[in-house]
Amino acid sequence: MKNKFKLFSKISLILIYLVILAGSTVRMTGSGMGCPDWPKCFGYLIPPTSRSQLDWKQNYNYTKGQIIIIKNKLYSSKNTFKSGANYNNSNWKLYTKHNYSLFNPYHTWIEYINRLIGALSGLSVLIMTFFSFSYLKEKKIIPIFSIFTLFLMGFQAWLGKIVVDSNLMPIKITIHLSLAILLVILMVILIQFSQKKEYNHTISKEFKTILILGFIVTLTQIFMGTQVREYVDQMFKLSNNSLSNIWQKTPPIIFYIHRSFSILVLLIHFYIGYVLFKSGEIPIAFKIIMLMIGLEILTGILMYYFDFPLFSQPLHLLFATILLAAQTYLIMEINTTKKNDI
Percent of the chain with pLDDT over 70: 91
Coil, strand or helix at 165: helix
Q: Please, are residues 286 and 270 in contact by the beta-carbon 8 Å criterion?
A: no
pTM: 0.84
- Around Cβ 206, how many Cβ atoms within 10 Å? 9
Coil, strand or helix at 68: strand
Tens-digit pLDDT profile for residues 297-322: 999 888 877 777 778 888 998 999 99
Reply yes or no on whether the pLDDT at 244 is more than 60: no
Closest Cα to residue 23, out of 152, 123, 116, 154? 116
Tens-digit pLDDT profile for residues 129-161: 999 999 988 889 999 999 999 999 999 999 988
Give, as one character, the DSSP assignment of residue 35. Answer: S
Coil, strand or helix at 45: coil
- Around Cβ 155, how many Cβ atoms within 10 Å? 12
- Around Cβ 48, how many Cβ atoms within 10 Å? 17
Amino acid letter for position 115: R
What distance in Å separates the CA atoms of residue 257 and residue 106, rounded to the nearest whole number? 35
- Per-residue pLDDT at 336: 54
Q: Please, are residues 115 and 23 in contact by the beta-carbon 8 Å criterion?
A: no
Amino acid letter for position 227: Q
Count Cα neighbours of 80 within 13 Å in the Cβ-side half-sphere.
2
- Around Cβ 160, how many Cβ atoms within 10 Å? 21
Amino acid letter for position 28: M
Tens-digit pLDDT profile for residues 83-98: 999 999 999 999 888 7
